[in-house]
Amino acid sequence: MTKRYRVLVGGEWVGDGWPGIEVINPFDDSVIGIVPEASATEVDRAIEAALKGAAVMAALPAYKRSDILNRAADFILRDKEEIAEIIAREAGKSWKFALSEAERSSETLRFAALEAKTSHGEIVPMDASPVSAGRFGFYLRTPIGVIGAITPFNFPLNLVVHKVAPALAAGNALVLKPATKTPLASIKLAEILVEAGLPAGALNLVIGSGVTVGNRLVEDERLAMITFTGSPPVGREIKARCGLKRVTLELGSNSPTIIEEDGDVDAAVGRCVVGSFANSGQVCISVQRIFVHRNRYAEFIDKFVAATRQLKVGDPLDKGCDIGPMISRKELARSLEWLEEAKNMGAVVAAGGEAVGNCLQPTILTGVTREMKVMCSEVFAPIVSVLSYGNFDEALEMADDSVYGLQAGVYTNDINKAFKAVKRLDVGGVIINDVPTFRVDHMPYGGNKESGLGREGVRYAMEEMTNIKMVCINL
């Protein structure tokens, strides 16, 4: 019998009698669970509970918030294999990457536990102005209140933790709306936080459509902030409809990697294989465009194609699997359509290009042009395009020729070229001698242009999730 789940609202597990949403295993299309679908009334109930929870969290001492987050980190490691199975089954992520996501989520919680104790304001030198020379000033960081968190399918635990953990560390409460395709990891996280001692109402979990749940959160004036990870069109709509709320948007990308003539090709090949194809390319900072100096192009292509053909495609629960399914048949069909368009416009498939069940073989394209969707849009599939260039300035121009600006990777052993890339590329992160897919959970992370607004990474998310309160004393 298919398991029916409950959701967390106001410290209670609810959902009996609600309509249900089936959670589908994208590898074999089996139903792995049924979750309760929230109505507008239930979303309102969750917001009311969060308002009460916000008052409790704001009064909770920093050390208690830190203790809760550290205990939750312990429990994730305790249950990491169970969590990895949940992620592999609902998201189609291969076991090794699902297990890594569980471990990363624990580390993210630990960073938040640390920041809960160390977040602070600072003294303002009032005597810098003659008008205020006789005053003493400082500011505090205070919790913003209730935060609406809307999360995607591709990292169903760690991207949720990246919103939940800093919000709680800063003393806020949340209403969380996970992706309807991958809600089970969020339910497990909620169970762990309750076990860790989180106060009732601090985290409220509701599942449902963007129309019913997402819009209600975005438009409700009782929320102080929306933090969203997803597509640029939805991000624009949120920005237009949220009123005076604070907004953090982590949106799309078509991340470039430059491999300069003096770069380490062997190191680049290995990292590009992982960066291009992990999680079937369904990663915001997945390698999508690779620019290789023409004197190293043939060498790179030969080695890259050979390494890619060694990847194992199949059941993500198979611990030897490298590439699992696309999140849905619809996304698989879209990816194949984009491939056909590219081929019709002159692109050549150097590896992959075929569907295997619900999976897409890791695919390398050459002969691409900037007009193709696989180049100018976010492909969000295991498809990568490789081009050659003549000089470093040309490579920087090609890499920056995008409406997106999340992260970029540059392989070079010339420090001057490295800093030239840092200065020239309009992106949120420049990763030298690695792919743009590199991210650790305490670094500032976010994009420019259509890649979003604001920054994540625990400390930087907490800055977005707090208000500055200035105190000035006339002595």
* Residues catalogued as catalytic: 250, 284
The pair of structure tokens assigned to 358 is 């619900």
The residues, ordered by sequence, that sit 6+ positions from 230 with a Cβ below 8 Å of its Cβ are: 150, 152, 250, 251
User: Is 432 in contact with 456 (CB distance < 8 Å)?
Assistant: no
The rounded distance, in Å, linking the Cα atoms of 354 and 344 is 16
The rounded distance, in Å, linking the Cα atoms of 56 and 69 is 16
Nearest by Cα to 450 from 235, 130, 172, 268: 235
Nearest by Cα to 360 from 320, 311, 325: 325
CA 475 to chain centre: 48
Cα dihedral 68, 71, 75, 77 sign: positive
Nearest by Cα to 58 from 141, 139, 122, 142: 142
3-class state of residue 7 by DSSP: strand
Concatenated DSSP letters of 183-214? -HHHHHHHHHHHHTTPPTTSEEE----IIIII
Concatenated DSSP letters of 319-356? TT-SB---S-HHHHHHHHHHHHHHHHTT-EEEE---EE
| Beta partners for residue 404, in sequence order | 449
Helix (H) or strand (E) holding 236: helix 232-241
